[in-house]
Amino acid sequence: MSEKREKLPLNKVDGKVVIITGASKGIGKAIATTLGEAGATVVLAARTQNTLDKVVNELTDKGVKALSVPTDVTDTKSVESLIQKTLDSYHKLDILVNNAGSGVFGNVVDFPVSDWDSVINSNLKGLYLCTKSALPTFVSQGDGQIINVLSIAAKVTFQASAAYCAAKAGALAFTKVLSAEVRQQNIRVTAILPGSVETPFWEDIPQHPDFDKMLQPEHIAETVLSICQQPRGMVTEEITVTPPLGIL
């Protein structure tokens, strides 16, 4: 009979320092809440100070260690300041969750160049800037984790969403290249591709899937937590999360 192997111990997020972008609402807020309640110190980044502060107050009332850092992820200096303020406050960074992004929709023939730039910058350039700014810390520590919350649109195209699909597909390719580049430095990189999630994202979109059939932000947050808890030496490079009824 073969000997029974001991189960690999799960990683704990307790005591880890996590930056979450786009953390003032929706999926980002749910991730900050879930990781914070699991014991992580969470740094919340988004553009609006007041909204961020409200979330931080909610979390601190629950006993979560939380810090708000207003950040424009498309601006290099703003992102560098986010990383530096995190290090100044906690002297380390363990996990980066790139969640910030936006969507503007319309047919290519009528789509303004300014909207194209906005979508590409928020979903792709912002992810690149945050990752690039965090990597030196991860490399020097010899440890780190990057989780990119993308969209099923990285693989499944939808009409009137050329900019959004292109940005998410680019972000998925970026994630895969990055994962190969930093694996030897003990840095884990994962892409999460959610289907439709009931968030404020849909407020300005008149035609959308049935809200009752969508995922909830907490579904994505629990997925992020499970990835953070995976045993050392294990990397999930990509995971797709869809509602049980198959609505994308």
pLDDT by residue for the chain (248 residues), tens only, comes to 456 666 777 789 999 999 999 999 999 999 999 999 999 999 999 999 999 999 999 999 999 999 999 999 999 999 999 999 999 999 999 999 999 999 999 999 999 999 999 999 999 999 999 999 999 999 999 999 999 999 999 999 989 999 999 999 999 999 999 999 999 999 999 999 998 876 666 555 555 555 566 789 999 999 999 999 999 878 899 999 988 765 55
Say how far apart CA 92 and CA 104 lie, in whole Å.
36
Instruction: Check residue 211 and give its pLDDT.
Output: 56
Instruction: Check residue 64 and give its pLDDT.
Output: 97
Q: Tokens 């009979």 map to which residue? A: 1
Residues 143-160: pLDDT tens digits?
999 999 999 999 999 899
Instruction: Determine whether 164 is an active site residue.
Output: yes
Residues 41-51: pLDDT tens digits?
999 999 999 99
Residue type, 209: P
Cα torsion angle, 200, 205, 208, 212, sign: positive
Strand order in the sheet with 95-98: 66-70, 41-46, 17-21, 95-98, 144-149, 187-194, 238-241
Instruction: Check residue 243 and give its pLDDT.
Output: 82
Put simply, whether the predicted model's pTM sits higher than 0.85 gets the answer yes
**CA 84 from chain center: how many Å?**
19
Instruction: Check residue 45 and give its pLDDT.
Output: 98
Catalytic residue (choose from 41, 164, 168, 179):
164
Instruction: Check residue 1 and give its pLDDT.
Output: 47
End-to-end CA distance of the chain: 46
Query: Could you state, in order of their start, the residue ranges of all structural domains in the chain?
Result: 17-241
**CA 200 from chain center: how many Å?**
16
- Where does 17-241 sit in CATH, by number? 3.40.50.720
Q: Tokens 């073969």 map to which residue? A: 2
